[in-house]
């Protein structure tokens, strides 16, 4: 098992409901360490840049507008198999399909307002971390 880093975002539906502490506890309980974290308000341009991979999808416009509808908490999680572990803790994209005990099952409002983002592979994790954080902002 490799020690990995993954980019996590606590989305506006969750920051609006003051759930950041409860969500962070899920990560820590799963053995993931928060080695960088900041609360920010994305601009539309920044949200579109982050989700550029989805720019052909029908939901791209709605997704970017949702991501700027409130503050987000961007964070780097570190741990054994952090990318897969975080996806497990998050649950399926659509909360209706998410397993019991996952963040999305317990907190998500909809397939769009689904409380958290997590990188899905090593290469995307590296790119997504560098989108939000400089080397000097990551400890651990």
Interacting residue ranges for ligand GDP, rule: CB under 6 A = 59, 62-63, 93, 111-112, 114, 117, 120
CB of 60 to ligand GDP, least distance (A): 8
Q: Which of 11, 26, 104, 117 is catalytic?
A: 117
Q: Select 40 or 139, whichever has its Cβ closest to ligand GDP.
A: 40
* CA gap 39, 37 in Å, rounded: 7
CB of 135 to ligand GDP, least distance (A): 25
User: Annotated catalytic, 117?
Assistant: yes
Q: Select 43 or 110, whichever has its Cβ closest to ligand GDP.
A: 110
Q: Select 58 or 136, whichever has its Cβ closest to ligand GDP.
A: 58
Catalytic positions are 117
């Amino acid at each position: 098992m490799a020690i990995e880093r993954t980019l996590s975002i606590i989305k506006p539906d969750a920051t609006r409901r003051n759930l950041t502490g409860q969500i962070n506890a899920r990560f820590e309980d799963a053995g993931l360490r928060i080695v960088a974290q900041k609360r920010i308000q994305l601009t539309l341009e920044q949200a579109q840049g982050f989700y550029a991979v989805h720019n052909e999808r029908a939901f791209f416009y709605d997704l970017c507008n949702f991501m700027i509808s409130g503050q987000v908490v961007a964070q780097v999680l570190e741990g054994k198999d952090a990318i897969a572990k975080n996806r497990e803790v998050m649950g399926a994209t659509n909360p209706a399909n998410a397993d019991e005990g996952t963040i999305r099952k317990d907190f998500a409002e909809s397939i769009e307002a689904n409380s958290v983002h997590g990188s899905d592979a090593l290469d995307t994790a590296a790119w997504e971390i560098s989108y939000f954080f400089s080397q000097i902002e990551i400890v651990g």
